[in-house]
Amino acid sequence: MIGNVYVIGSYSTKFQKWPDKSGKALTRDALVGALRDAQLNDAGVVENAYFSNCGMGVIWGQDMVRGHSMMAPLVEEGLFPERAPIINVEGACASGSMAFHLAWKDILSGLHDVSLAIGMDKFYHPDMQLVLTAFENGIDREDKDRLIGEYRTVAETCGQDFQFGDNRTIFMDTYAMQACWHMWKWGTTQNQIAVGASKNHYNGSLNPKAQYQFEVPVEKVLSDYMVSYPLTRSMCAPIGDGAAAAILCSETFFNTLPPSVRERSIKVRASVLSSGKHRPINEPGLSKWAADKAYQMAGLGPEDIHVAEVHDATAFCEIYQAEMMGFCPIGTGGKFIESGATMLDGKIPINTSGGLISKGHPIGATGLSMIYEIATQLRGEAGPRQVKNACVGLVENGGGVISVEEMACGVTLLGKP
């Protein structure tokens, strides 16, 4: 490895429905925000970009050259250098972490001194069928029958029915069945899932960039509209739009920066990607593999993490990922969340941003928005949701579905310099 890699600029737009804002405008907002955060007056120092996006092809008809199309106006404005390479990245909901990982690797290799990871998606669209089709592209469509068969087997094991069909989202249905199995195997309760959801809605109420900025008491989480048992609407991430970005640099470039930038910079301690497989449901998932490797890379353990953002496309996912990240033993995630351990003043605060279920989940931007939240926490700039003495943070970002786990996952460890 060639020195350290630092995040010197990080930014996220507010996540919400942006019907009157184009993808190019959201992309511009994220880049300008990251440049300002890094105090970079000369955008020409950025040598390349990895552009994360998932929905533009199916929903908006822009495929193949998504990032190039979104960033072409930024080149004309002098916000991104001419001729610099733009690489399109797509890995379902894990795309943002993939873009970040690739930018990180470019700097580690010595190829670049400054690299940009930027993600944008617009999933709000009047034609919901287009949106549902886009989401279904996150599975192996050629082997769809195998996926459905595996979930039906899981459903039979725990005495449930696997619901699947038109006008439903397959992701919520698969997460619901994983939750049902966890309830059957480990005694996790719907109330424990609701406690986690309520906690994240509270955190979202403190986050001005969250899509939902209101509290939802546990009883209202439970009484909300049932999406797919045991998951109610308040336990599920909403559809929305947004963009986020991170600017990474080498130690050589870092040393040329003014103290005001270096003092707010964040060191990348580890970045690991993993891929899913067809696995037995009682076998630990791909995120545990990635987390274990990230801890080893950084010389850290779960006990060293002060704050974490995990991919809670549903509130059950936080229970599961708390186990996979090693914050609690496997099978005890429900009790762990119920105990208050993941609250802002708990043992390991998780999803201080409000998580996906409150902050929002515009797929291509999600992983980078999680980086932004952890950077904000480590800088001590999170305001009323600030975790005390946060020095090391973790991001877990998963995407797609194969069998009973995600297709892809990224785990990133960040720390103060």
Q: What pLDDT score does 1 carry? A: 43
Does 129-237+269-415 match 5-127+239-265 at the fold level? yes
The residue with tokens 């999680």 is: 370
Q: How far apart are CA 64 and CA 56, in angstroms?
A: 10
Convert the pLDDT of each residue in 377-401 to its tens digit.
Answer: 999 999 999 999 999 999 999 999 9
Query: SS3 of 87, please?
Result: strand
Q: What pLDDT score does 163 carry? A: 81
pTM equals 0.97
Q: How far apart are CA 388 and CA 109, in angstroms?
A: 35
Cβ neighbours, 10 Å, residue 45: 16
Backbone angles phi, psi at 255, to 5 degrees: -70, -15
Convert the pLDDT of each residue in 286-339 to its tens digit.
Answer: 999 999 999 999 999 999 999 999 999 999 999 999 999 999 999 999 999 999
Q: What pLDDT score does 413 carry? A: 98
Q: What is the CATH number of domain 129-237+269-415?
A: 3.40.47.10
Q: How far apart are CA 269 and CA 273, in angstroms?
A: 14
Identity of residue 180: C
CATH class of domain segment(s) 5-127+239-265: alpha beta
**CA 341 to centroid of chain Cα atoms:** 21
Residue 216 and residue 198 in contact, taking contact as beta carbons nearer than 8 Å: yes
Q: What pLDDT score does 129 carry? A: 85
Residues of the chain with pLDDT under 70: 1-2
How big is the chain, counted in residues?
Answer: 417
Domain boundaries, the chain: 5-127+239-265, 129-237+269-415
* Residue 270: half-sphere exposure toward Cβ, Cα within 13 Å: 23
Residue 29 and residue 291 in contact, taking contact as beta carbons nearer than 8 Å: no
Q: What pLDDT score does 15 carry? A: 98
DSSP 91-159: BTBTHHHHHHHHHHHHHHHTS-SEEEEEEEEE---S-HHHHHHHHHTTB-GGGHHHHHHHHHHHHHHTT
Q: What pLDDT score does 2 carry? A: 58
